[in-house]
Structure 1
Amino acid sequence: MSDGMSGRIEGAQDARDLVELATSEDSVGELLRRGLDWLTRVVRFDLATLFLLKEGRLVSVAARGPLANAKVRQHTLNLAEFPSLRQALETRRARAFTEEDHSHGDGDPFDGVLDLPPGHSCMVVPLCAGERVYGVLSLDRAECETYPQPVVDLVEVYGQMLATALQAAEQRATFEQMHRQDHEHAKLLEAQLGGDSEGILETSLSPMMRDLARRAKQVAETDTPVLITGETGTGKERLARAIHRWSSRADHPFVTLNCAAIPAGLLESELFGHVKGAFTGATKDRAGRFQMANGGTLLLDEVGELPVELQAKLLRALQEKTFEPVGSDKTVRADVRILAATHVDLQQAIAQKRFREDLYYRLSVFPLRLPPLRERLEDLPQLCAFLLEEQARRTGRRGMKATPAGLERLEAYEWPGNLRELANALERATILTRGTELGAESFDLPTGGAGAVSRGPQASAPAEAPAVEASLKPGAVPTLAAVQREHIMKVLTLTRGRVYGPGGAAALLGLKPSTLQSRMKKLGIARLDQFVVDEV
């Protein structure tokens, strides 16, 4: 094989390597340096210099060869003073210069920088790709001869490939910048949606919330599935977002799917995606939540509402980390960390054959229970400040705060809707209040029924009282229900109507709060304002 043919093959391979380098290296400087190194296989030179075009000037950014020195690497040329260079860029054609060109043209670009003999070998190669003009590559030799045209043509091709590599590097840099911007935008949106959940958890005054935060941070460092349970409105999605941001996947997507909000017929497509033509209306391929969350976290909210027929497919996706989009026989792999949340009693759902037991054990490797607001009322001032600040970012009403009287009014309520109901109450109070202070009168809360706690000095006796009193007359034997009813009412009076939390009626009676509430309803004292609360 001739040297020329060998040089062409090596040059073509080098050019391909340059393009590959442009898509993988972080530094454009490294790309240019290695480009000049590979150029030595294509053509002989004593100096190869890369000039990039910047605001009408050609600025030296890299140089190779025996004649390369600090002056060459800092050399700049005003393009307006070198018509021959400008012509090369306009025509996009490489050109070999002769002694006559330098004598009668615009002079040597390295005059005053290098002492090259008249008539030395000189070549200028434009670096152009697409619509962009990146600069020129100049080659110089101390020998007094002209570069032959076949060599000029070969280096011109090499220059085109180098320019293509520069274009690829530029596009990669633009893409990475856009990706960083999108990532920052996504983080901002996530912060606006989820709030500073981590701070609220970690600074809670409630011992059970602090313990919950500690356990959540521990499991966040792993890829273990987490099942978050709790009443509706307790902030299960906020906790899930906090776990995601504490994890090593924080820089990757956090994707949610509310299993109760999507029709059963569309849930499989939402989870696993579909291909074009999979069903009526599937006009193009569409990625599912598993693919969207690849590398990150997927929250299956209200997982207890997932149709039984889809639970087996979800179980397989969790076990094998693979699935098939609807209408496709191609297996797709996704690296996803699963969090699940529900207010449904999944054990009861299993007993009723509404939830698969094997899926339950797959999801509940690390269960976390979020307590209702009534069990963490010590956090009420902090939660109010947090929610008001969160609303201020959305509504613009800044500086709103709950007064001590307002907080006392809020503490007297049981909050069956938990944080969601509290947020609604605060927003309603913010709308109705002219100033910035939310007092007791600012809060329009129920005074009876579920959620209400009587704090007044007197309350009307319950309608059932005469029947109970009759059963307690001398000579009459009271029923067990009557005795239980009287005892519960005394304890409720002692605790000023508080059922939940330390010092609450449930704690004093040694019962679960939910058990006590159920028994109160059965005994006809479901309404907490039906008994007398004496002021101490």
Structure 2
Amino acid sequence: MQDDFSGAIDGAKDARDLLELATAEDSVGDLLRRGLDWLTRVVRFDLATVFLLKEGRLVAVAARGSLANAKVRQHSLPLSEFPSLRQALETRRAKAFTEEDHAHGDGDPFDGVLDLPPGHSCMVVPLCAGDRCYGVLSLDRAECETYPQPVVDLVEVYGQMLATAIQSAEQRATFERLHRQDHEHAKLLEAQLGGDSEGILETSKSPVMRDLARRARQVAETDTPVLITGETGTGKERLARAIHRWSARADQPFVTLNCAAIPAGLLESELFGHVKGAFTGATKDRAGRFQMAHGGTLLLDEVGELPFDLQAKLLRALQEKTFEPVGSDKTVRADVRILAATHVDLQQAIAQKRFREDLYYRLSVFPLRLPPLRERREDLPQLCAFLLEEQANRTGRRGMRVTPEGLVRLEAYEWPGNLRELANALERATILTRGTELGPESFDVPTRGAAVVAALPEEPAPAAGGPKRGPVLTLAAVQREHIMRVLTLTRGRVYGANGAAALLGLKPSTLQSRMKKLGIARLEQFVVDEA
């Protein structure tokens, strides 16, 4: 007995190890194996077995000691046949069994599994934490003596700590499972709300856009900062999301901050966070976008609108990957990949002392320019299909399509608002149209005809007495007639400063594509001069 008590005293000196056990981040199986290994420091045994309660049975899940074997590890007990074990769970008290308990009690739990002598040392310790009992820990020795009460009391405390560790491990496993589910759900929502950015980029018929997608894929594989420029509404955030999804950080957060949408006085707090009491209204600590994006990607949208005095702090955060929240003197480290987007001419802003030159060079390591929609009109059919599909996810109006005549009407517009304006025009047309086809009458956008006509020489007035009005023509017929008239005026010249493409405000390749679509691709009466 003295040896057992000495072992208990030595085990008490390992309190820090027991605390570590209670806060360990192992799985339940690993935790039980480590717990039984540490138990050898607390008390002597020939067999230590952990039974977990599963559907009214105590099932062995871990065993240690010289008597541990395959039969022990596969052993299970119906709780209803062992009142002493049920009592230990109900009272939550450890119990050392005597020879009398073995003789007149409910039998040895290991009868038929181990050949232990009557009256051997045996202890049962409940594993309970909070309002739940997880099972029992049993200790057995082949020697015929009873565990002393100080040892029983100490192992009871150990059992409580082991049960607490089991509870924490199960809760942690649940949280991780819920986190994975939430993460997958967030990615699904992001894909639905953010749209199929990759599809829009990689199915483009524009050579410029295809080259842009290729270079974006290349830089996505690195952590190099990217500066995305382009007119308002060209899809800079779409491109940024595509770069994030193509990167190794795709499973980590994608966080955006619109530098033009937040008052200058709050931007620093939005970027770097703040601590409680940092300013009026700061009632608690709050993480900034850098901390939210840790491990992922941070898009600084409209970075050209960032206040000049905040640019130096942003530059330091980019260079050192550290910053201090507002009101704090503690340095915070964040691993963030930076993407920046702007429609502002940053070179001009630098010349006007509105943007730091050193920050510009830090952000524009790999610049990407998104062309406006008027430079990629050949993409209108698939852009309309993509945007209508995205809107269908929000509005439920599925099966909507733009007719060929409707596309001709859309191609005749300059689209100063680019993709954003196109999306608005499609959504407006979807609301106003009863059927599923969006024809030219569905769109209220102006055409470029008036500007082109103004640039052409005047035609002779119709003869006196001639008809004042002709029959109403379709839009395609009007376009065909107008292009042929311009080609007549330019003597068939398509290219050059005075060519038909320049007068019509089109790229020569776009004009030739339009001519083919309208049936005037082969103009025998014209000579197409490509000089």
User: So what's the TM-score if we normalise by structure 2?
Assistant: 0.84
Correspondence list, 1:19-34, <5 A: 19-20=22-23, 22-23=24-25, 25=26, 27-34=27-34
Alignment CA distance shift 1:45-1:501 (3 Å): farther
- Secondary structure of the equivalent of 1:298? strand
The one-letter amino acid paired with 2:509 is: G
Give me the whole-angstrom Cα distance separating, in 2, the residues matched to 1:235 and 1:461: 32
* Distance (Å, rounded) in 2 between the aligned partners of 1:116 and 1:463: 110
The corresponding residue for 2:237 is 237
Deviation at 1:454, TM superposition (A): 2.2
Q: Which residue pairs with 2:448 in the alignment?
A: 453
CA, structure 1 residues 326+221, in 2 after alignment: closer, same or farther (shift >3 Å)?
Answer: same
Distance 1:40 1:328, change over 3 A: closer
Give how far 1:171 is off: 2.3
For residue 496 of structure 1, report the CA deviation from its aligned partner.
8.4
Find the aligned partners of 2:151 and 2:283 in 1 and give their Cα distance: 53
Q: Which amino acid aligns with 1:358?
A: D
Map Cα deviations across residues 476-528 of structure 1 (whole Å, 9 max, x no partner): xxxxxxxxxx99999677238643545369xxxxxxxxxxxxxxxxxxxxxxx
What is the match of residue 357 of structure 2?
A: 357
Counterpart amino acid of 1:495? A
Partner of 1:292: 292
Query: Where in structure 2 are there 5+ consecutive unaligned residues?
Result: 460-489, 512-524, 527-531
Instruction: Give the aligned residue type for 1:8.
Output: G
Separation (CA, whole Å) in 2 of partners of 1:204 and 1:3: 79
Distance 1:106 1:191 in 2: 61
Q: Which residue of 2 aligns with 1:18?
A: 21
State whether structure 2 residue 8 is matched by structure 1 residue 8.
no
1:177-230: CA deviation from partner (whole Å, max 9, x where unpaired): 232123223212321232121222122222111111111111112111111000
SS of the aligned residue for 1:45 comes to: coil
Q: Distance in 2 between matches of 1:497 and 1:28?
A: 76
How far apart, CA to CA, are the structure 1 residues paired with 2:450 and 2:71? 88
In the alignment, the residues of structure 2 paired with residue 165 and residue 260 of structure 1 have an alpha-carbon distance, to the nearest angstrom, of 49
1:422 alignment partner in structure 2:
422
In structure 2, what residue type is equivalent to 1:322? T
Partner of 2:471: none
Q: Deviations over 1:431-450 (max 9, x none)?
A: 1121222222222212xxxx
Shift in Å at residue 97 of structure 1? 1.1
Corresponding residue for residue 385 of structure 2: 385
Cα distance, 1:116 vs structure 2: 2.4
Once the 2 structures are TM-superposed, how far is the Cα of residue 155 of structure 1 from its aligned partner? 1.5
Q: Deviations over 1:360-397 (max 9, x none)?
A: 11111110000111212222221111111111111111
1:50-105 deviation per Cα after TM superposition (whole angstroms, max 9, x unaligned): 11112222111111223222222122222222211111111111101123223322
The amino acid of 1:234's aligned partner reads T
Q: Kindly indicate whether the alpha-carbon contact (under 8 Å) linking 2:274 and 2:286 is maintained by their aligned counterparts in 1.
A: yes
Q: Is the 8 A contact 2:95 2:124 kept in 1?
A: yes
- Residue of structure 2 equivalent to 1:523: none
CA RMSD in angstroms, aligned pairs only = 2.8
> Is this contact kept in 1: 2:7–2:41, CA < 8 A?
no
What SS is found at the alignment partner of 1:367?
strand
Corresponding residue for residue 374 of structure 2:
374
Paired residues for 1:205-220 under 5 Å: 205-220=205-220
What do the CA deviations read for 1:332-352 (whole angstroms, capped 9, x no partner)?
222221111011111111222
Structure 1 pair 404–463 and aligned structure 2 pair: CA distance change class (3 A): closer
Alignment of 1:137-536 (within 5 A): 137-446=137-446, 452-454=447-449, 494-495=500-501, 498-503=504-509
The separation in 1 between residues aligned to 2:287 and 2:66, in whole angstroms, is 56
Give the 3 Å change call, closer, same or farther, for CA 135–212 of structure 1 in structure 2. same
SS of match in other structure, 1:41 = coil
- Does the 8 Å contact 2:273/2:287 carry over to 1? yes
Could you say which residue in structure 2 is the equivalent of 1:44? Answer: 44
Specify the SS of the correspondent of 1:162. helix
Tell me if structure 2 keeps the 8 A contact 1:128–1:164: yes
- The runs of 5 or more residues in structure 1 that have no matched partner are 447-451, 467-485, 506-534
Segment of structure 1 superposing worse, 206-215 or 9-18 = 9-18
Count the aligned residue pairs: 479
Q: Give the whole-Å Cα distance in 2 for the aligned partners of 1:336 and 1:299.
A: 10
Hey, what's the Cα distance between the residues in 2 that align with 1:394 and 1:99?
74
SS of the aligned residue for 1:495 comes to helix
Task: Sort the Cα spacing of 1:397 and 1:150 in 2 relative to 1 into closer, same or farther, 3 A.
Answer: same
**Preserved CA contact (<8 Å) 2:202 2:213:** yes
Give the 5 Å matches for 1:78-157: 78-157=78-157
Instruction: Give the share of equivalent positions with the same residue, in percent.
Output: 83
Q: CA deviation at 1:319?
A: 1.9
Q: Supply the distance in 2 between the matched residues of 1:461 and 1:88 (Cα, whole angstroms).
A: 98
| Cα displacement (A) at 1:455 | 9.5
Cα offset, 1:121, TM superposition: 1.7
The CA distance in 2 between the partners of 1:120 and 1:5, in whole Å, is: 19
Give the distance between the partners of 1:234 and 1:28, measured in 2 at CA: 52
> How far apart in 1 are the matches of 2:342 and 2:85?
70
In the alignment, residue 78 of structure 1 is paired with which amino acid?
P
**8 Å contact kept, 2:8–2:42:** no
SS of aligned partner of 2:449 = coil
The verdict on how the C-alpha distance between 1:355 and 1:496 changes in structure 2, with shifts beyond 3 A counting, is: closer
Provide the C-alpha distance between the structure 1 equivalents of 2:161 and 2:454, rounded to a whole number of angstroms: 93
What SS is found at the alignment partner of 2:180? helix
CA contact (8 A) 2:495 2:501 kept: no
Q: Relative to structure 1, is the Cα distance of residues 185 and 430 closer, same or farther in structure 2, using a 3 angstrom cutoff?
A: same
**SS of residue matched to 1:179:** helix
Going from structure 1 to structure 2, the CA distance change for 1:278 and 1:464 (only over 3 Å counts) comes to farther
The change in CA–CA distance for 1:504 and 1:198 in structure 2 (over 3 A counts) is: closer
- 1:64 is the counterpart of 2:60: no
1:58 is paired with a residue whose SS is: strand
Query: Hey, what's the Cα distance between the residues in 1 that align with 2:173 and 2:226?
Result: 38
Quote the offset at 1:453 in angstroms: 2.2
Q: For 2:457 and 2:270, locate their aligned partners in 1 and report how far apart those are by CA, in whole Å.
A: 53
Contact kept, 8 Å, 1:234 with 1:372, in 2: the verdict is yes
Q: Is the 8 A contact 1:455 1:497 kept in 2?
A: no
Q: What TM-score, normalized to structure 1?
A: 0.83
Cα 1:454–1:461 shift into 2, 3 Å: closer
Give the C-alpha shift of residue 13 in structure 1: 4.2
Check 1:498–1:148 CA distance in 2 against 1; reply closer, same or farther (3 A cut). farther
Contact 2:228 2:341 (C-alpha < 8 Å) held by counterparts: yes
